[in-house]
Structure 1
Amino acid sequence: MSNTQQRIIPVATLVLCPEEIFNHNSVLNSLHIRSGSSVPFEMFPLDEFQIERYFSKFSKEAKETLARFNDADIAFEAGQLKKRHAREKSGMPLEKFLDKTLVRYLHELLHTLLHQHEDLRLYHRVKNPKTGNYLVARCDLHREVPVLWFTMYKKEDGGIYVQPMLQCAGKDYKLEDIRRYKFLVETESGHYHLMKSADYLALDWLQASQPEQFAQDQVLLSRRIVQKLEETHKVDRNDCFEKKEIGGQPVNCLYLSEISETMIMFTPRWKYEGLTVEGEWKAIHETNRNGEIYTINRDADAENSFIQELKALHPNFAKQTGKFFYLTFADAKKKQWFLKAYHKLLDQDVEIIGLEMLRHFRYSPFAAETVMSITRQEEEFVVLQLKVSFGKETLALNELQKLLLSGHNSILLKDNSIGILQDEWIEQYAAIVKHGKIAKQEITVAKWIMLSLKEGEAQEVMKPAISEAWLAKWALWQDEQAVVYPVPDIVQATLRPYQHKGFEWMALLSEIGAGACLADDMGLGKTLQTLSFIAWKHLQEPAARHIIVCPASLIYNWKQELEKFIPGMKATIYNGLQRNLDQFFKDEATVLICSYGTLRSDIEQLKIYPWSVAVIDESQNIKNVQAQITRAVGQLNTSARIALSGTPVMNNTFDLYAQLNFLLPGMFGGQEFFRKEYANPIDRDGDVDKIKALQQITAPFVLRRTKEQVATDLPAKTESVLWCEMGEEQMMVYNKIKHQIRDSIFLDIKAGGLERNKLNILQGILKLRQVCGSPALLPEKENTEEAVKIDILMEELVRLKQNKALVFSQFKGMLHLIADRCRKAGISYYHFDGDTPVAERAEMVAKFQSEEDKTTVFLISLKSGNAGLNLTAADYVFLVDPWWNTAVQQQAIDRTHRIGQTKSVFAYKMICKDTIEEKIIALQEKKQMLSDELISAEDGFVKNLSEDDVAYLFA
């Protein structure tokens, strides 16, 4: 037999096919190697024949495991998992459930085989990344398990990013430098390792969480990503995160605990701005609280002074270390030492912690008895006499207040027993004691606090502070169908039911001198509700004057809305050069509208006059207690206060303080009280009880309705104008270019006629519209970075938070400028324009539409995105530079307002005041040509212009 006729005997081995993990197929097959054959490699499934003939040296257990590496067995396992999914009804989509469980099944199989057969010789079949062809070569599957860890790093854009690392054989690998197939990683060419289940699942979670979207927001990145990883893995923060420094004078605390049943231990602690430290003194103490890193600069003198004071309390303490002190129960009670020391420490404002946790000190057999009565009323405040007793002992109110403010509900009585204030007592009286001003056994509180109390004894005692007639109307208002006050006839609008309730609520609170914060979602008609209230006050006091304070961009909105809904009421804009207070009174105008900046500048004049209603729109503008504008607003002399804001809390809970202090003077005490009682526990610790307490006490005075709550009352689509007023620098650029264009166009018209210069007119309009967006869009460099539209848009996007928004612009450059600001603000976004491939557009749209996707903003060029897209995940649309072809605008809006949309849609056209944009709107109304002629197209708009129209546009 010739050599060519000789039978070629194959050598069989195992071949690893890592890509099959993603397809849920077998990752091992039988590989036949035929030397000298024209087909050197051939791959077969692992069946009984292959295993018995070629892998007979494997142990019985290993062969049984090998037999499970075939597609039929895996398909059977998938069938069983489908049945399990149907039984358990976990809510997880079947595809996601199968991906998770089948990958785990393959991982367990490979892990088992690796430990059943020591000498596991393998080839692997992988794709050549350069050619796309598959290669077969020797490989090793190592038993050593790589260790997953993470490090943080900063990029040039200032963002912080997560870098997953694998440590294997003493070497660290970046994740992007290796190949990963779910749980299987190839660290070096042909060297494979099995990851732990927890590791590959952590990487899958990280990838799905898109940590890059939080790159510009340290707090969110730490809270949502880094802290989660730190729970299970080592994370090197690499000094990427800013550390908030805390220092100053600490609050001394003493923590009480028991040693067995015979000793009591006293541990000194210190609170620095609400963060507690204890133990041996170190100059700097670092702690992580809710994703933020705090560096506490400890005060050695203050801490040591407190330790010396404690050592002086008892002779035994002098011999002890100072880290903690201890006494026997007998020594603590001897000559009432514990009682005397307790009251001495309270007098020194030391917070005593842990009293209620002591189990072997005797508890008082008495429950707290409380007697409260109204002594007198002083304008908006009520003076109460309050007596709280345990048996024959009456508590001192100042000590009681200190205990409650430090978060404790127990007090040491004179007989050395511990009195416990039950939860029922806390619910009834704690808010009154905490928010009150103590003088001996009397406590002064704002009468409005009665509305926040739960039904019970305390509320019954407080009820006479407010008239029965008013309380009856307040109860009637709770009935959704009842009408407390009709909307004044001078209001030319029909209020929806929830809007009517909002107007009545303002009116009711004004009757008892309380302010109201209307915090409805954007687009629910806060302006109309407020104007209805002003109209109601006007009918009561026809000669009274009212003031509306708002951002400069909204002053014209207010005037237009007032003229639209209350045409008989005269309003005056008090802003810029239009600042003539004498003329306001001379004209007998009723409403003065001014910006926050103007109020700050002219407060000495404006605070003199007694305003009937003071409205502060976008009230988050006064969140900074120390800001001049906040102080100015607080000086307004007014009898009714209204705050409007869709987002009263922008950054943290303390944002509420200045707004509440304006609405309800004196009810929330001083800044430090509010910070310690509410802001710090809520923002730093996520204290659920404090959140509920603050919600309860503010609920009567803050009314918030979301779109979902009142969806049945909403139109399907609301379109509004978002007015923008340029700053001085941007307006100077606009006027300079306008003069250049005007002079050139009129010379051209004079020389060649109007018709021959329509293109020049169109180009001139386009250039001015670019300036309205941002002077940075112009090819020539202008000496300003002002861009009012971008500033206002960013304010709106930050305020929307979780809502999704579409942002359209005709100019690609404008989208890039907005994208840059979004990155700096930590707002995640998608972006496409005419240069974006169609496939990428579809991928972005699919992601944006996904419920799991957390990206909130989609930047789209108007022409690229005006048709063919379904973006119903969004419920807000911003047309940054509205096209005068309203059909195109409507198509853009209808990307989200279409079949499948379950939410109400709010669309905003951004228009610069006193520019060509505003004049074109005026021309539209004047000519009444809207979509038919004037705005059928950009060039169609120009075709319909007369010389007078051109003169008006460029005047």
Structure 2
Amino acid sequence: MKVSTTEPFQIIYSLFEHEYLGYLFESFVIQLDHQRRLTLKHQNISAKNADEFARELDDVDFKLIDLIDSIQQEAIVKKFYNKKITPAEFFLKIYHKEKGDELIQDAIRSYIELKKNQILCLLENKMLFEMGHDGEPTWKRLALAPQKANILFHFMRNEDNTHYFPTIKYDGQKIDFQYKNAIIVCSMPAWLLVDNTVYHFNKDVDGNKLKPFLNKKFILVPRKMEETYYEKFVTQIVSSFDVHAKGFTIHAEEYAPKPVLTLTELAVAKAPVSLFDTAGQDTAVDTVEENKILVSLDFQYGTFIFSSDKLSPSFVKMEKTDDSYIFHKVKRDSDKEKDFLDLLRNSDLEFKSGKVTLDKSKIFSWLSANRAALEAQGLVVRQNLKDGKRYFVGASSISLEVKENNDWFDIYAVVRFGEFEIPFLKLKQYILKKKKEFVLPNGEIAVIPEEWFSQYSDLFAFIEDDSDDLKLRKHHMALVKELQNDRLAEVSMDRKLERLRDFQEIEDYDLPAEFKGELRPYQKAGYNWMRFLNQYNFGGCLADDMGLGKTVQTLALLQSLQKTADGKASLLIMPTSLVYNWEMEARKFTPDLKILNFTGINRDKNVEQFHNYDIIITSYGTVRIDIELFKQYQFYYTILDESQVIKNPESIIAKAVKELNSKHRLILTGTPVENSTMDLWSQMTFVNPGLLGSQQFFRNEFLNPIEKKHDEVKTKRLYSIIKPFILRRQKSQVVKDLPEKIENVHYCTMSPEQEQEYEKTKSNYRNLILESIDEKGLAGSQILLLQGLTKLRQIANHPSLVEDTFEGTSGKMEDVNYMLDNALELGHKILVFSQFVKHLHLYAKLLDKAGIKYAYLDGQTRDRQAEVERFQNEEGIRVFLISLKAGGLGLNLTAADYVFLLDPWWNPAVEAQAVDRAYRIGQKNTVFTYKFITKNTVEEKILNLQKNKLKLANDLISSEETFFKALSKEDIQSIFD
């Protein structure tokens, strides 16, 4: 029965029992009579039709409707089964008594319990009913208890057994729920329906603990099973809930928590000794695979120690006496425990489930750096008594002094491990062979800090071996300077910089056979440069002009290194608007590489899956949210597209990407410096940490002298440092290598509100058009088809072209604005074509608001030539908004070198004519064309149809009529699916 929206109605929620899914909810609208009483006339309401009844719904109703939709049987089938199947078939298959899938059943149960709890929490002040067996949604009115009830568990121990039962109190009154046909509406946590009232509980009791007592007074536990039962079950109940005990004792105890870190060595087998080892070699420092250390965090309360991953408010330890039991209930101070966990997290030690596993050198380096501060907070560090070794866990340091001599630099250094001073030279073989354990005089094992291997390996490699003195040749003065400025890790980099100074000497690398494309000469040079950086483990910045093919050069690089990546995936990070374009380009040029699009709210947050792919494509926003997940994986490459996003080193995203683990790093940008020299520091510090020193060093040494004093010497010095690591080609530099016209397709993603408008319109027209085709045939349905396609095209641009009251955003408009700003910053002139005048008006308003001058031309423009001359001759006018119909012919706009086609359609000839306004005799610049296509819309589907109908595309469809005649009913259906 349809409920009229012109007459009074009321939304209600109804509880019913599903054969397989248990108790669920449905939402209905009920027609009201003239006295506003509920009638029998009702209609199911869901997200599909909720807008029709919006005037009587509030925000909570819309949330409830979405939640209720998510647990209906059709939604469950779609979420938990990836094949086409009817609900009846699904439930018979999954819930079959003998052959059913228990894993899926458990997953469904957990999912529904979560959703039901969310629903019940929102139902306060809503009309709730129990559904009748005949499907009548308002059969019995239910009430939701406004406060939480309390539950008390009773254990009565006697000589033969123990009786166990719960009692429930609400507002001081006992609730009689046994033998009352009570229902557990939700189990996790429990929501109990009894006598038409739904109760929920303090301390979030599990409904399964109440279920046995709905039709039973108590549970009897025989004496012979008592000890096991008390140990496994009663301790759990005493820990989490209020308990009344008879026949045994519960002691409540309180202590101040003391954090305890326990270190346990996880043994790894040593590498086998080679039969061909050099005779006389110092085997005491042979390289072995480093063991890991398991760090466990516990909290000690008095004599009791509890793991930090047990989050219950109290902990219970059972003690068996001669004739009874004592339960020691220790109340935990969760606030203090959380404060200490935060302290550890802030010191870069992140615990999960109370444990963390680290390389041995990392944990001991961390202890050396942080132990004093943490011990001030009461931290106790212990070693697992079962480990055979005793490790040194104190502070370690190196004191280094360099003095210039006639032909040498004399180095004076002392290594300190706590109270012990160790000669610096004694560490040489340990550092060079990456042997990380050093035996101290008292027998303790000192783990050499990880950073020492990078800071001092070059120093040890260059020290002369002809004496016990530490001497360095004078030609290593650059290394000494780096040591002096505390830039120890960059020594090897400076030593290799000479190899990059002359770009022309870089060798030529073959393109991989698997790469499905060709590189222009300048792109091949860029590919060679990136291969060279990779060979020497340097990061780089490819800063070519927009449109010169940074994407294809990068894909060629990744394809060439597929076999040397040791099975590790590379991570590509970019603005959300570029994700789909990268995915399309990767599948086109590198089909041999396995691609994972790791974006969207439904992404699988399982880092293990990365091992199955070559390239992980994601967005800056996703990395910011999931940084802790990404940090768990060691990537082969981390590549940032539009890397100016991290230009602010203090931004969250800039800090996040610098925490990523990868063997190589690369950034892509057309604008490496937008506002300040600090933009360069942030990006170059990401690809080559330490190249430009610390932020403070860079500010004092370069930024202030260059920006405030215009110091040319400092400018040249900075340029000489970064030159080997930045490759920038402008369009004017490589124009001889380019064709005169470069065409690009840019895929856009709809905003959520835009997608909602699109799907609603598509659904309406799909039914109308397919019914019309059945009744009138294709020819008789062309007007309706054109009308539907036009509206969908307009919504794909911006829903406000169809609905004036639309206040949301458009994904395409955001992408166009982004690329428009980028092109304007680089000094280009841009033609912007649209078939819809109203669409051009939207951009005109945006340009007006931004204070950007522009020329404009549509069918109502009287003086066309004046607008053309303004654009052609005035430097300050860099944008020309043009109606495709009015400006597609007869204009000479050679001042433009970029053409944006906002809403391309099926006729390539019309688009070619628009592009030819710029690409014609007199044009001295390369013309770049960008066709903006909204993903998952009619725009993308029409392009796919063109590709599938090659003859149609080759014939250059000249009109809507010829286009529609070429479509079959199946083609039309696919457009609207």
**Cα deviation digits, residues 327-358 of structure 1 (max 9, x gap):** xxxxxxxxxxxxxxxxxxxxxxxxxxxxxxxx
User: Per the alignment, in what secondary structure is the counterpart of residue 911 of structure 2?
Assistant: helix
1:923 aligns with 2:945: yes
- Per the alignment, residue 868 of structure 1 pairs with 890
Counterpart Cα distance in 1 of 2:839 and 2:742: 25
How far apart are residue 831 of structure 1 and its match? 1.3
The one-letter code of the counterpart of 1:549 is: I
Counterpart Cα distance in 1 of 2:935 and 2:591: 22
How far apart are residue 443 of structure 1 and its match? 6.0
Equivalent residue in structure 1 for 2:780, among 738, 745, 756: 756
Counterpart Cα distance in 1 of 2:778 and 2:607: 43
- Per the alignment, residue 902 of structure 2 pairs with 880
- Per the alignment, residue 504 of structure 2 pairs with 478
The one-letter code of the counterpart of 2:890 is: G
The one-letter code of the counterpart of 1:815 is: L
CA RMSD of aligned residues (A): 3.1
- Per the alignment, residue 560 of structure 1 pairs with 584
Counterpart Cα distance in 2 of 1:795 and 1:941: 33
Counterpart Cα distance in 2 of 1:555 and 1:544: 21
Q: Is the 8 A contact 2:901 2:932 kept in 1?
A: yes
Counterpart Cα distance in 1 of 2:689 and 2:607: 32
Equivalent residue in structure 1 for 2:842, among 817, 828, 847: 817
Q: Is the 8 A contact 2:575 2:619 kept in 1?
A: yes
Counterpart Cα distance in 2 of 1:806 and 1:631: 38
Q: Is the 8 A contact 1:432 1:445 kept in 2?
A: no
User: Per the alignment, in what secondary structure is the counterpart of residue 615 of structure 1?
Assistant: strand
The one-letter code of the counterpart of 2:746 is: L
- Per the alignment, residue 560 of structure 2 pairs with 536
User: Per the alignment, in what secondary structure is the counterpart of residue 887 of structure 2?
Assistant: coil
1:843 aligns with 2:866: yes
Equivalent residue in structure 1 for 2:521, among 497, 500, 510: 497
- Per the alignment, residue 597 of structure 2 pairs with 573
Within 5 Å, which residues of 2 pair with 1:14-93?
none
**Closer, same or farther: CA 853–443 of 1 in aligned 2, 3 Å:** closer
**Cα deviation digits, residues 134-190 of structure 1 (max 9, x gap):** xxxxxxxxxxxxxxxxxxxxxxxxxxxxxxxxxxxxxxxxxxxxxxxxxxxxxxxxx
- Per the alignment, residue 221 of structure 2 pairs with none
TM-score scaled by length of structure 1: 0.51
Equivalent residue in structure 2 for 1:721, among 745, 769, 783: 745
**Closer, same or farther: CA 587–444 of 1 in aligned 2, 3 Å:** closer
Counterpart Cα distance in 2 of 1:429 and 1:920: 65
**Closer, same or farther: CA 437–586 of 1 in aligned 2, 3 Å:** closer
**Closer, same or farther: CA 677–443 of 1 in aligned 2, 3 Å:** closer
- Per the alignment, residue 782 of structure 1 pairs with 806
Counterpart Cα distance in 1 of 2:666 and 2:479: 24
- Per the alignment, residue 551 of structure 1 pairs with 575
How far apart are residue 695 of structure 1 and its match? 2.5
Counterpart Cα distance in 2 of 1:431 and 1:813: 64
User: Per the alignment, in what secondary structure is the counterpart of residue 541 of structure 2?
Assistant: strand
- Per the alignment, residue 820 of structure 2 pairs with 797
Counterpart Cα distance in 2 of 1:703 and 1:792: 26
1:516 aligns with 2:540: yes
User: Per the alignment, in what secondary structure is the counterpart of residue 446 of structure 1?
Assistant: helix
**Closer, same or farther: CA 587–928 of 1 in aligned 2, 3 Å:** farther
User: Per the alignment, in what secondary structure is the counterpart of residue 572 of structure 1?
Assistant: strand
Counterpart Cα distance in 2 of 1:591 and 1:371: 51
Q: Is the 8 A contact 1:554 1:723 kept in 2?
A: yes
**Closer, same or farther: CA 517–757 of 1 in aligned 2, 3 Å:** same
Q: Is the 8 A contact 1:738 1:954 kept in 2?
A: yes
1:696 aligns with 2:726: no
1:831 aligns with 2:856: yes
User: Per the alignment, in what secondary structure is the counterpart of residue 864 of structure 1?
Assistant: helix
Q: Is the 8 A contact 1:934 1:940 kept in 2?
A: no
Counterpart Cα distance in 2 of 1:787 and 1:374: 66
Counterpart Cα distance in 2 of 1:371 and 1:550: 51
User: Per the alignment, in what secondary structure is the counterpart of residue 886 of structure 2?
Assistant: coil
Q: Is the 8 A contact 2:607 2:630 kept in 1?
A: no
**Closer, same or farther: CA 653–841 of 1 in aligned 2, 3 Å:** farther
Q: Name structure 2 gaps, 5 residues minimum.
A: 1-403, 412-427, 433-451, 460-475
- Per the alignment, residue 446 of structure 1 pairs with 490
Counterpart Cα distance in 1 of 2:778 and 2:567: 53
**Closer, same or farther: CA 687–849 of 1 in aligned 2, 3 Å:** farther
Counterpart Cα distance in 2 of 1:521 and 1:489: 27
The one-letter code of the counterpart of 2:588 is: K
Counterpart Cα distance in 1 of 2:761 and 2:881: 28
How far apart are residue 682 of structure 1 and its match? 4.5
**Cα deviation digits, residues 722-766 of structure 1 (max 9, x gap):** 111112122112112222222332333333332212111111111
- Per the alignment, residue 192 of structure 2 pairs with none
Higher relative contact order (CA 8 A, sep 6+): 1
Q: Is the 8 A contact 2:567 2:611 kept in 1?
A: no
The one-letter code of the counterpart of 2:897 is: D
How far apart are residue 582 of structure 1 and its match? 4.8
- Per the alignment, residue 693 of structure 2 pairs with 669
**Cα deviation digits, residues 754-785 of structure 1 (max 9, x gap):** 2212111111111111111112212442241x
The one-letter code of the counterpart of 1:863 is: K
- Per the alignment, residue 754 of structure 2 pairs with 730
User: Per the alignment, in what secondary structure is the counterpart of residue 962 of structure 2?
Assistant: helix
Counterpart Cα distance in 2 of 1:666 and 1:705: 25
Counterpart Cα distance in 2 of 1:475 and 1:697: 10
Equivalent residue in structure 2 for 1:896, among 918, 943, 959: 918
How far apart are residue 791 of structure 1 and its match? 1.5
Counterpart Cα distance in 1 of 2:853 and 2:707: 23
The one-letter code of the counterpart of 2:908 is: T
Q: Is the 8 A contact 1:477 1:484 kept in 2?
A: no
**Closer, same or farther: CA 735–513 of 1 in aligned 2, 3 Å:** same
How far apart are residue 584 of structure 1 and its match? 7.4
- Per the alignment, residue 880 of structure 2 pairs with 858
TM-score scaled by length of structure 2: 0.50
**Cα deviation digits, residues 479-524 of structure 1 (max 9, x gap):** 4xx7432222221222222112211211222233221110101121
Counterpart Cα distance in 1 of 2:608 and 2:789: 36
**Cα deviation digits, residues 657-702 of structure 1 (max 9, x gap):** 3211211112223334434444455455655444433332221111
- Per the alignment, residue 229 of structure 1 pairs with none
How far apart are residue 556 of structure 1 and its match? 2.1
- Per the alignment, residue 938 of structure 1 pairs with 960
The one-letter code of the counterpart of 2:538 is: A
Q: Is the 8 A contact 1:794 1:822 kept in 2?
A: no
User: Per the alignment, in what secondary structure is the counterpart of residue 478 of structure 1?
Assistant: helix
Q: Is the 8 A contact 2:458 2:492 kept in 1?
A: no
- Per the alignment, residue 409 of structure 1 pairs with none
The one-letter code of the counterpart of 1:444 is: L
The one-letter code of the counterpart of 1:803 is: H
The one-letter code of the counterpart of 1:874 is: A
The one-letter code of the counterpart of 2:491 is: K
User: Per the alignment, in what secondary structure is the counterpart of residue 626 of structure 2?
Assistant: helix
Counterpart Cα distance in 2 of 1:701 and 1:669: 15
Counterpart Cα distance in 2 of 1:826 and 1:677: 37
**Cα deviation digits, residues 420-445 of structure 1 (max 9, x gap):** xxxxxxxx999996xx5747xx7636
- Per the alignment, residue 76 of structure 2 pairs with none
The one-letter code of the counterpart of 2:520 is: R
**Cα deviation digits, residues 819-863 of structure 1 (max 9, x gap):** 2222333433211111111xx32122223223x623211111111
* Identity rate, percent: 41
User: Per the alignment, in what secondary structure is the counterpart of residue 638 of structure 2?
Assistant: strand
Q: Is the 8 A contact 1:765 1:916 kept in 2?
A: yes
